[in-house]
Chain A
């Protein structure tokens, strides 16, 4: 291990553990283990079948049915919804959070409303949303927006409030006009916290996606999973889960790398 350096060692440990999970999964399915919570492993497809189906889902050529090669269409539709909902949430929550963190009057006005709406889970919004918006993409995007909004808002708010008064004083004594302080000092100083909020919000957007796409949508990873449930196809459900997991992970990496690319060496993103 030492010959390859500590990074390689850590990677080997992580990869080894995933291999171990796959092995246990395979053994469990074959042995029809019944685990805690009455999980019946025998009802699961073995990992090899899932891998084959995943390949077919992405590139086709194995089963050649309606499912084959349809991954990219589903993934594209879902990604657009996540992007729209997340983007909207960020565009609303960041300015609002900065203003709330900086101006006591804005905080006093909005804080009670925020605390009333925040605990309402997206699942509780679904029935109402279906009635007042209707089935479709818009309802999904709305659910994603409302779910991603709060973590971004609260992280921005607390990051803004934690900006050291010293930095504001420094800016003022160097000749910054009070109106300039917000953009020149408060926002950059709060950026690491805002980025944390964005990452949580983006992760949540993928979680809510499945919920939103469960109703009246025919293209999307969530709708694909719901269809598979109706067809009692656990293998397709597992494939959908894997794709959403990977998509969520990659979108987080993309966000962090994109921001790091934009910021360069500036210490504006917390080490992760």
Chain B
């Protein structure tokens, strides 16, 4: 079971016309928790607009509220202030148009790889045969055809995360929300998964919001990098400190000087954010 199976087995046919359903809008978004010592603001005043098909990475120190923001967009948590819209519609609950990829995969251990991937389409009342065909297609895209009948517990972490990505893509989401998706993987697997994600993003045309600790990952993948700062433990609500556009042209090379310059710029913002709040 080598990670080599990651080499693209097939390409996604561009199934999604980039349309307004992939637009993400956050306006004055805040999240307040009630604690015994009174209310605490986890995040406050977040404004962000993501264009359909855009790839945006969110970086920041632990506790800055970047995961909270993602969970609000997913519909797992309710914001307490502001406007949260995806595709022009307010977010109230989780939904298949917003696919989520978790750091710990969240695969159903009692279902095979193929069953996991066709779970979403089946929930949306796609016929059994159509769902099967669709699952097979996306399993091939992530290079796991040989493992279609295995159970998640029999796969490596990298393979499980590929199943999780296939499972979400099979649902044809307008927005892909990824919470530290590669954080639990070893460095080699991580790099190959980043390549794959880049390819899938181009091919599916889905909007991607990626929360990550790795500045390199953010610069490698994103069109724009959102730097967040603050956080309840700093006494300041988590907020957007700056949005850095990544204007590198052509194939991105993590060792190129211009790549490193952007990386340094973002690192400086992240670290300043920790100190000054």
| Chain B residue with Cβ nearest A187 | B110
The B-contacting residues of A in range 158-198, CB under 8 angstroms, are 164, 166-167, 169-177, 180, 185, 188-189, 191
CB-based contact A170/B100 at 8 Å: yes
Contact pattern, B 56-77, Cβ under 8 Å of A = 1, otherwise 0: 0000000000000000001110
Known: A175-B124, A176-B123. A170 touches B151 (CB 8 A): no
CB-based contact A175/B95 at 8 Å: yes
Task: Please pick, from B75, B94, B109, the residue contacting A267 in the complex, using a CB distance under 8 A.
Answer: B109
Complex CA gap A260/B109 in Å reads 16
Complex CA gap A176/B123 in Å reads 6
Q: Does B98 contact A (CB under 8 A)?
A: yes
The B-contacting residues of A in range 251-272, CB under 8 angstroms, are 265-268
Task: Please pick, from B95, B110, B120, B123, the residue contacting A266 in the complex, using a CB distance under 8 A.
Answer: B110
CB-based contact B106/A167 at 8 Å: yes
Q: Does B171 contact A (CB under 8 A)?
A: yes
Most A Cβ at <10 Å: residue of B110, B120, B153: B110
Q: Does B157 contact A (CB under 8 A)?
A: no
The A-contacting residues of B in range 102-120, CB under 8 angstroms, are 102, 104, 106-111, 119-120
Q: Report the interface size for chain A: residues with CB under 8 A from the other chain.
A: 21
Complex CA gap A268/B123 in Å reads 22
Q: Chain B interface secondary structure, helix, strand, loop or mixed?
A: loop
CB-based contact B123/A189 at 8 Å: no
CB-based contact A173/B74 at 8 Å: yes
In the complex, what's the smallest C-beta–C-beta distance from B161 to chain A, in angstroms? 13
Known: A191-B110, A265-B151. A172 touches B119 (CB 8 A): no
B-side contacts of A267, CB under 8 Å: 109-110, 151, 153
Q: Does B99 contact A (CB under 8 A)?
A: yes
Complex CA gap A171/B120 in Å reads 8
B-side contacts of A180, CB under 8 Å: 123
A-side contacts of B120, CB under 8 Å: 174-175
CB-based contact B104/A266 at 8 Å: no
| Chain B residue with Cβ nearest A265 | B151
Task: Please pick, from A175, A177, A189, the residue contacting B171 in the complex, using a CB distance under 8 A.
Answer: A175
A-side contacts of B74, CB under 8 Å: 169, 173
In the complex, what's the smallest C-beta–C-beta distance from A159 to chain B, in angstroms? 13
CB-based contact B151/A167 at 8 Å: no
A-side contacts of B167, CB under 8 Å: 174
In the complex, what's the smallest C-beta–C-beta distance from A269 to chain B, in angstroms? 11
In the complex, what's the smallest C-beta–C-beta distance from A29 to chain B, in angstroms? 51
Complex CA gap A171/B76 in Å reads 12
CB-based contact B110/A189 at 8 Å: yes
CB-based contact A174/B171 at 8 Å: yes
A-side contacts of B8, CB under 8 Å: none
In the complex, what's the smallest C-beta–C-beta distance from B171 to chain A, in angstroms? 6
In the complex, what's the smallest C-beta–C-beta distance from A243 to chain B, in angstroms? 37
Most B Cβ at <10 Å: residue of A171, A175, A177: A175
| Chain B residue with Cβ nearest A164 | B106
Q: Does B93 contact A (CB under 8 A)?
A: yes
Q: Does B87 contact A (CB under 8 A)?
A: no
Known: A265-B151, A266-B151, A267-B151. A173 touches B108 (CB 8 A): no
Most A Cβ at <10 Å: residue of B76, B123, B153, B168: B123
Complex CA gap A185/B123 in Å reads 12
A-side contacts of B9, CB under 8 Å: none
A-side contacts of B109, CB under 8 Å: 189, 267
In the complex, what's the smallest C-beta–C-beta distance from B43 to chain A, in angstroms? 19
CB-based contact A166/B110 at 8 Å: no
Task: Please pick, from B95, B106, B110, B124, the residue contacting A170 in the complex, using a CB distance under 8 A.
Answer: B106
Contact pattern, B 20-31, Cβ under 8 Å of A = 1, otherwise 0: 000000000000
| Chain A residue with Cβ nearest B76 | A169
Can you list 26 residue pairs at the A/B interface with Cβ under 8 Å? Answer: A164-B106, A169-B76, A169-B94, A170-B100, A170-B106, A170-B108, A171-B108, A171-B119, A172-B76, A173-B75, A173-B76, A173-B94, A173-B95, A173-B99, A174-B123, A174-B167, A174-B171, A175-B95, A175-B123, A175-B124, A188-B108, A189-B108, A265-B151, A267-B109, A267-B153, A268-B110
In the complex, besides A174-B167, A266-B111, A266-B151, 9 extra interface pairs with C-beta distance below 8 angstroms are A166-B102, A166-B104, A169-B76, A170-B100, A173-B99, A174-B119, A175-B120, A267-B151, A268-B110
